[in-house]
């Protein structure tokens, strides 16, 4: 599969793994030490070919995603779940794109989100409270699983409504994911 856009990753190991999964060019941020020169390179790539931000599903990865998104609005986003990004060796509990399977990377890049002009969502904070996604025991785990089901990444309680809005998740998509989450809880 050939990817037209330039994929922004954190490091060299991510680039190696991406190139095993797809035919694509990458820009490496060198972790959270992203500098102005790299941001300018990303901005240029976005203007010429488009950009997909594909960072690790952890705090530093989300921080890098946020920095790029603020400096270069309009990038596309791809997400891996923590399970798909976890190292497969029992003694190594690190998380990263470099640990994901080729298939997981291909799926994540096939389900890229494009952030269009942000429109209001019909999902409310009350919906999040009602479904125990904020402010309760187990809320973090529910948000994490919801992020996997909707492929929008894991968020904290404050970010969830914004992320649902930014990625234009409809109330129907949200409710279907909640239903699946509740079914898993019943059967799990």
Separation of alpha carbons 184 and 20, rounded Å:
33
pTM exceeds cut of 0.85: no
Nearest to 12 by CA among 90, 115, 96: 96
Separation of alpha carbons 82 and 151, rounded Å:
11
pLDDT digits (tens, 9 = 90+) for 45-69: 999 999 999 999 888 998 999 899 8
Domain at 6-114: CATH code: 3.40.1360.10
Q: What are the tokens at 24?
A: 């694509």
Which residues have CB under 8 Å from 8's CB, separation 6+? 26, 27, 28, 29, 42, 51, 52, 53, 54, 55, 68, 75
| Contact in structure between 117 and 93 (CB atoms under 8 Å) | no
Separation of alpha carbons 114 and 140, rounded Å:
25
Residue ranges per structural domain of the chain? 6-114, 125-187
pLDDT digits (tens, 9 = 90+) for 97-152: 999 999 999 999 998 877 654 566 789 999 999 999 998 888 999 999 998 898 88
The confidence score (pLDDT) of residue 111 equals 84
């Amino acid at each position: 599969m050939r990817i037209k856009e330039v994929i922004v990753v954190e490091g060299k190991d991510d680039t190696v793994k991406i190139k095993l999964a797809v035919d694509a060019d990458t820009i490496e941020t060198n972790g959270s030490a992203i500098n102005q020169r790299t941001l300018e390179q990303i901005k240029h790539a976005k203007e010429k070919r488009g950009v997909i931000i594909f960072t690790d599903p952890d705090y530093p990865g989300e921080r890098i995603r946020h920095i790029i998104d603020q400096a270069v609005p309009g990038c596309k986003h791809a997400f891996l779940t923590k399970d798909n990004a976890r190292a497969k060796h029992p003694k190594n509990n690190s998380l990263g794109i470099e640990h994901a399977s080729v298939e997981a990377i291909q799926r994540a890049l096939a389900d890229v989100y494009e952030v269009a002009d942000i429109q209001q969502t019909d999902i409310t904070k009350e919906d999040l409270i009602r479904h125990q996604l904020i402010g309760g025991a187990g809320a973090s785990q529910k948000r994490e699983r919801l992020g996997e089901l909707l492929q929008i990444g894991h968020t904290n309680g404050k970010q969830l409504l914004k992320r649902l809005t930014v990625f234009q998740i409809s109330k129907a998509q949200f409710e279907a994911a909640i239903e699946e989450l509740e079914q898993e809880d019943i059967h799990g």
